[in-house]
Structure 1
Amino acid sequence: MAIMADRARDPEMMQKAGQAFERLGNFARAAELRLSARRQRKGKGANEWTGEDLGSDRLLIDLVEDDPRSLGRVIRHARLAGAAAACAQSATIRVEPRLVSLVQRTFPNATVVPAQQNVVGDKFATFEDLAWIFGRDAERLAADFVPLRADPELVEIFRQRYRSMTDQPLVGLSWGSKSHSKDVPDFPEWARFIARTQATFVSLQYGQIKPALRRLRNGNDARLIYDYSVDQMLDMDRFAAQIAALDAVVTISNTAAHLSGALGVPTIFLIDDKFQTAWPVTGNRTPWYPSGVVMRKEGRPWPVVLDDVGRRLSSILTARSTLSSDS
């Protein structure tokens, strides 16, 4: 595919080939193809930053998606934006308004502005530039991980609130996505998983979920907490603090997955057998989120997969409990 894309100079094919190479672990080729695809579509700007010494040049880092609801790539690349900002005397990062506080707190030496604000820079960098400069080596990408920083006061508020409700470990759960093409466990399968797991779950699901909560709780409301004060569609800072207050997260591929991984919270990413652009084909780790574990369906029934998830989650919680006891 990559050879065909190069020959045809087809940016869409080059983009897909780049995604495939990243899933196969070849981050260098992936970055090359994606950068070529963007330049094929939009041309190479004279002021595009490619990693050279910036001197006194002002750097504008653009982390804005065409679809403001799609935050996965933004969250993945946020730490690369931080690395880029560290290379400049003056750096500005553009993000969706609901991400401004979170990114600003994590990278205080940069100026973080909402996407609608017009900003001028001497040099600019996009997702593809950042991946080309900082994301071509998977091992280095994992080793250089810098977690996003949730509001510590909010984290403590959420932690105390949930701890007052239970003495069991707190596990975030997100079971759905706006993409209806994804293969995910049905409600009875999730309800069985919740009932069999020694933990109290906290919903990280967005949207109108009251009917889903009834089915998942299955008469035991205390097993699945839903915090009405959090709306990730409006305020990612509260959502990040909620996640950071938890002991672990179990989630399908969605915004909750990317945010929990980027926060460094131990996370189990539940991946179906359909094409998933952000997750590796083999192995159970991704360098984007070193504290997470990728668990695939691999043709198995979901109850079997969720049994495996339960065992892995138990190990994560035991290790976390031991670490807390030792500290």
Structure 2
Amino acid sequence: MTAESPGAARADLFGQRLLAAAHQRLTASDLGEAERLTRAALDLPGAAGTIRARLLNLLGGIQRVHGDHAASLSSFDAAIAADENLADAHANRAAALIALGRSAEAPASLDRALALDPSHQQALNTAGVLLAAANRLEAAVDCYRRAIDAGASDVDTLCNLGNALGRLDRLEEAEAAFLAAQARDPAQPRPFAGLGKVAMDGGRLEQADEDYRAVLDRVPNDADAHMSRGFIALLRGDLAAGWAGYEWRWRLRDGPTPPPEPRWRGEALAGRTLLLQAEQGFGDTLQCVRYAKQAARQGARVIVRCQRPLVRLLETAPGVDVVVAMEDSLPRFDFAAAMLDLPGLFGTTLETVPADIPYLTPPSPVSQLDAALGDDPRPKVGLVWAGNPRHRNDRRRSLPEDAVTELIEDAAVRFFSLQKPAASTPDGMTDLAPILDDFADTAAAIARFDLVVSVDTSVAHLAGALGKPVWVLLPFAPDWRWMVGRTDSPWYPTMRLFRQEGRGDWPGVIARVRKALSDFRP
């Protein structure tokens, strides 16, 4: 065994001291001095092996705080090259990849970090983040709890746990996690935001509003908190305050794409061309295209830019002159507005919701529809029991399989599935999905029904816009547009709302819908 030279030993000791000093400056948020000390240590003759890897790992952390994720990734790669057994560097490399939008590459680094240290807190937390993003919530909770069992008590890990538990509707456990994070650092806004979400999901709107105000006390321009308070106002029916809060979505870090400039902010429209642009889901577009008529009344030529499956149908909307798909070339216009900004721009209140229905019309029949509908004399009912499985709230808003079975069992009506994309259709129901290519086709089918029954999806909006009787099955914590404490909707006069009376109470909803169906007469 070759003895280490005294010079190398001194360099290593000096490097360790500089590393410790750099860590102290980083902890004190003195990034400039921390980086200077780190680079000085890296320049020492003989700075190699584990000490060099730790220095490069620290440099990558400093660069990450600066927001230079590409440079931080290079530093973490260099740290691993210097010592491939440094678990911290592998965990940090995964975080850098995620920050660079390369999440698919991160699991390999996390696996390596956890192979080296199965209780590595950061690696477990980051793995939980990736699992939660993939809707693997139970696995995410397991990772967060393993990190906490290993000693993690930081706000981020506790809040990540709370968020995953909340999405699983385990609200009491979620609240406990957020309260632990709040106790850890009462100055941090994130625990209050989590508590606000838990309160909203539990139907405690006053408490939720108080929690979001606490966020704003700490970060006055927090867009999420302003928008959440807007949702609370909309749920309460205070539309003016709600629209103002909802405007904050444009400041969200991962918010929707805004419409092109120049934006319409209420200027005179006579002789002007107004572009109305879809921004989020199909249902939002179907709900808000009604405002084209009001713009046309002010003298505007109205162009609607929307998702392609809506194009044929929206050409029938009053006030609409031209409809183009989102991926088509942008036509000339004078002003542009996002669809979901229109209620606020037109000053909509509960008393002034433009609810002249129908405002959409099926443009053409579906050739195979007659054969599919048949000549059964029972009332014809279209059914949608599930939304987009990738939607963050789908676990709450979609019916479980046993509820669907109970709903259609021995019914005095004939059910037709409008489920798109096509799903496994329960026995006793006719699946129309294969003959419905777009929303115009779905509208043609709905026009032939006596009733539509749907969870909170775009089909509920479509049936309402067509003036068809529609029953909407809502979770305990509904979307803002359905408000609270109502069985009707000011947006759609032919709509009836069936709400859960407690979290997860689909059996109660199904029982009431079955009773209503037994009394239903077209």
TM range (shorter): 0.7 to 0.9
Give the direction of change, closer, same or farther, for the CA distance of 1:298–1:306 in structure 2 (3 Å limit): same
CA distance in 1, matches of 2:291, 2:317: 12
Give 1:183 deviation, angstroms: 5.2
**For residue 225 of structure 1, what is the aligned residue in structure 2?**
430
- Would you identify which runs of 4 or more consecutive aligned residues in structure 1 move more than 6 Å? 39-46
Alignment match, 2:304:
93
Are the counterparts in 1 of residues 292 and 302 from structure 2 also a CA contact under 8 Å?
Answer: no
- Which moved further from structure 2: 16-25 or 4-13? 4-13
1:311 to 2:515 alignment: yes
Query: Structure 1 CA distance, aligned partners of 2:470 and 2:349?
Result: 23
Match of 1:204 among 411, 415, 418: 418
Q: Which amino acid is 1:246 matched to?
A: F
Which letter does structure 2 place at the counterpart of 1:307?
A
Q: Does 1:127 align with 2:339?
A: yes
| 8 Å contact from structure 2 (residues 471, 498) kept in 1 | yes
Residue 233 of structure 2, aligned match among 6, 11, 21: 21
Is the partner of 1:105 in helix, strand or coil?
Answer: coil
Equivalent residue for 1:55, pick from 249, 264, 270: 270
Q: Which moved more, 1:53-62 or 1:179-188?
A: 179-188
Match of residue 170, structure 1, among 361, 371, 380: 380
Distance 1:192 1:36, change over 3 A: closer
Deviations 1:20-59 (A, max 9, x none): 2112111111112223543788999973323332232221
Q: 1:139 to 1:94 in 2, by over 3 A?
A: same
Taking a change above 3 Å as real, the CA distance of residues 310 and 44 of structure 1, as seen in their structure-2 partners, is closer
Q: What is the distance in 2 between the residues matched to 1:131 and 1:312?
A: 32
- Give the match for residue 302 of structure 1: 506
Count of aligned residue pairs for this structure pair: 301
Match of 1:268 among 471, 482, 496: 471
Contact 1:250 1:268 in 2 (8 A): yes
Distance 1:108 1:78, change over 3 A: closer
- Higher strand content, 1 or 2: 1
* C-alpha displacement of 1:204: 1.0
- d(CA) in 1 for partners of 2:509, 2:467: 24
Closer/same/farther in 2, CA of residues 128 and 89 from structure 1, 3 Å limit:
closer
Determine what percentage of the aligned residue pairs are the same residue.
26
Residues 194, 109 of structure 1: alpha-carbon distance in 2 compared, 3 angstrom cutoff: closer
- Unaligned 5+ segments in structure 1 are 218-222, 321-327
1:145 Cα deviation after fit: 4.5
Query: 2 CA distance for matches of 1:43 and 1:8?
Result: 23
Residue 103, structure 1, aligned to residue 314, structure 2? yes
Q: Counterpart amino acid of 2:439?
A: M
Match of 1:38 in 2: 250
Where 1:225 maps in the other structure, the secondary structure is strand
Paired residue type of 2:241: R
CA distance in 1, matches of 2:467, 2:216: 36
Matches for 1:132-147 after TM superposition, within 5 Å: 132-134=344-346, 136-141=348-353, 143-147=355-359
Work out the CA distance in 2 between the residues paired with 1:131 and 1:301: 32
Choose between structure 1 and 2 for higher RCO, CA contacts under 8 A separated by at least 6 residues: 1
> Is this contact kept in 2: 1:50–1:129, CA < 8 A?
no
Q: How does 1:244-283 map to 2 (within 5 A)?
A: 244-283=447-486
Q: Which runs of 5+ in 2 are unaligned?
A: 1-208
More helix by share: 2
Return the index of the structure with the highest Cα Rg.
Answer: 2
**Shift in Å at residue 174 of structure 1?**
0.9
User: Offset at 1:144?
Assistant: 4.0
**Conserved 8 A contact 1:155-1:244:** no
2:292–2:319 CA contact under 8 A, matched in 1: no
Superposition CA RMSD, Å: 2.9
Calculate the TM-score normalised by the size of structure 1. Answer: 0.81
Contact 1:49 1:129 in 2 (8 A): no
2:342 partner amino acid: L
Partners of 2:258 and 2:513 lie apart in 1 by 45
The normalised TM-score by structure 2 is 0.52
